[in-house]
Amino acid sequence: MSKRFIVSPGGKLSGSMQVPGDKSMSHRSVIFGALAEGTTHVSGLLEGEDVLATIAAFRAMGVNIEGPDEGRLVIHGAGLHGLQKPQHDLDMGNSGTAMRLLSGLLSGQSFATRLIGDKSLSARPMRRVVDPLSEMGAKISTAEGGTPPLQIEPIDSLHAINYQMPMASAQVKSCLLLAGLYAEGKTCVTEPAPTRDHTERMLRGFGYPVTSDGARVCLEPGFRLAATDMMVPGDISSAAFFIVGSTISKDSRIEIKNVGINPTRTGILFILKQMGADIELKNERTIGGEPVADLVVQSAPLHGIHVDEKHVPLAIDEFPAILVAAACASGETVLSGAEELRVKESDRIAVMARGLANIGIDVIETPDGMRVQGGQIQGGAVDSHGDHRIAMAFAMAALQSNAEIQIDDCDNVATSFPDFQALAGSCGLGIRVINT
């Protein structure tokens, strides 16, 4: 059985809402809570399938974790050297974040592990973490083609490296920093462009020293993580769909409370404001070292832009929603420098281009992005290819459609936004789900 979204044309969004907890931070809170000494209390956790896979992996390695219960989790940390050999493969499901981060952590353990995933994850590239980990002395192998499963064997010790990343990737950076916790010497990673910095912030929050100097971040072994209490803010990647939906639909106004606005994550706000969006940040504050605000979004006419490539890494997960906004804008929007979108849960450049064309939008696909000519959305059928963000983006496109939009293969929406249908429906989107 597979889930299909059927979304009615037109309508508007209104009301006040809270989106699920930040997925990136939820993963990391589980990881660092498990490696800390003492008991960590987490609130606001995303109870999506990706994060549940991370929780299950640490339980399989002997960590006592209570919950999740309405976003609350209690983690009785095992310490940096307290993990135990799992009795079975660790199944990361659909989560590239979990697999890449855990590959770094597990490369420094005294036992063997095997990381597996679902069909989509099993096609995603892992050489980007395997190659630098191998430089550190890790004994790690992939399937043919550099994809999962990952087989990790124990070694005597890792050695630190000074790694110049060839592409901007918070997952690669975080993987190597986690490996650096177990490496001899100072591990440093230099990024070609800024990426989300939740790992560095959270390590410091757990009392582990991390140094940053411009694009370079470093750490050394020999310290401990101390348990702490954490509150995970709302995920701006989940808020993105409602930001775009309210922007493109006439007479809409929504307030999204308690959204994380980490400056390494707010590319979508900058891009949409450049296009003419009406987005106001209210009640800005800091919670657990992370900036948070309430977002008020009202409908506004949009115009096409050439997306500045320096903002691409800061909005990489939000482009399915941004491209729907481009489809509703006057003029042409040009996206380039976004090759990373081809190796997400799907080839997001190809799948978005086909989907937009299927609903009447003129699109030219390019190797590293696309050109989108804004126009009238006509309705039609879209295949999300199991990509949660593409499914939710096209659901919002129906607000500007003159006919129903059908979106197939929507099961994986539960990986990041288990209650998407209910929340979207309560705000005014005419969405229903059928099993096919």
What are the domain boundaries of the chain? 3-21+234-435, 23-231
Residues counted in the chain: 436
Check if 3-21+234-435 and 23-231 are the same fold.
yes
Lowest mean pLDDT among 3-12, 178-187, 283-292: 283-292
pLDDT of 436: 86
Q: Region 154-183: what's the mean pLDDT?
A: 96
Q: How many CB atoms lie within 10 A of CB 367?
A: 10
Q: Region 78-100: what's the mean pLDDT?
A: 97
**C-alpha–C-alpha distance, residues 121 and 352, integer Å:** 19
pLDDT of 287: 83
Region of 356 on the Ramachandran plot (φ > 0 left; ψ -120 to 50 alpha; else beta)? alpha
pLDDT of 366: 98
Q: What's the pLDDT tens digit per position in 402-427?
A: 999 999 999 999 999 999 999 999 99
**Per-residue confidence band for 336, with pLDDT thresholds at 50, 70 and 90:** very high
Q: Can you state the percent helix, strand and coil of the chain, rounding each to 5?
A: 35, 30, 40
Is residue 115's pLDDT more than 80? yes
**What DSSP letter does each residue of 232-269 carry, written as one string?**
PPBPHHHHHHHHHHHHHSTT-EEEEEEEE--TTTTHHH
Is residue 246's pLDDT more than 90? yes
pLDDT of 284: 97
Q: How many CA atoms lie within 13 A of 211 on its CB side?
A: 8
Structure token digits, residue 42: 């987490």
Greatest C-alpha distance within the chain: 63
Is 411 annotated in the active site? Answer: no
pLDDT of 8: 98
Helix (H, G, I), strand (E, B) or coil at 104: helix
Closest CA to 430 of 234, 245, 236: 245
CATH 2.60.40.10 given to domain 23-231: no
Tokens 């209650």 label which residue? Answer: 419
Q: What is the mean pLDDT of the chain?
A: 96
**C-alpha–C-alpha distance, residues 374 and 328, integer Å:** 5
Compute φ and ψ for 128, nearest 5 degrees: -60, -25
Lowest mean pLDDT among 255-264, 285-294, 314-323, 334-343: 285-294
pLDDT of 324: 98
Tokens 């050489």 label which residue? Answer: 127
pLDDT of 50: 95
Three state DSSP letters for 369-403: EEEEECCCECCEEEECCCCHHHHHHHHHHHHHECC
Contact 200, 210 (CB under 8 A): yes
Q: Region 329-349: what's the mean pLDDT?
A: 96
Active-site hit among 22, 50, 91, 317: 317
**Per-residue confidence band for 18, with pLDDT thresholds at 50, 70 and 90:** very high
**Per-residue confidence band for 289, with pLDDT thresholds at 50, 70 and 90:** confident
CATH 3.65.10.10 given to domain 3-21+234-435: yes
Is residue 1's pLDDT more than 80? no
- Tell me what percent of the residues of the chain surpass a pLDDT of 90: 96
pLDDT of 288: 75
- Which residues, including other chains, have CB under 8 Å from residue 74's CB and lie 6 or more apart? 39, 40, 41, 42, 65, 66, 67
pLDDT of 385: 96
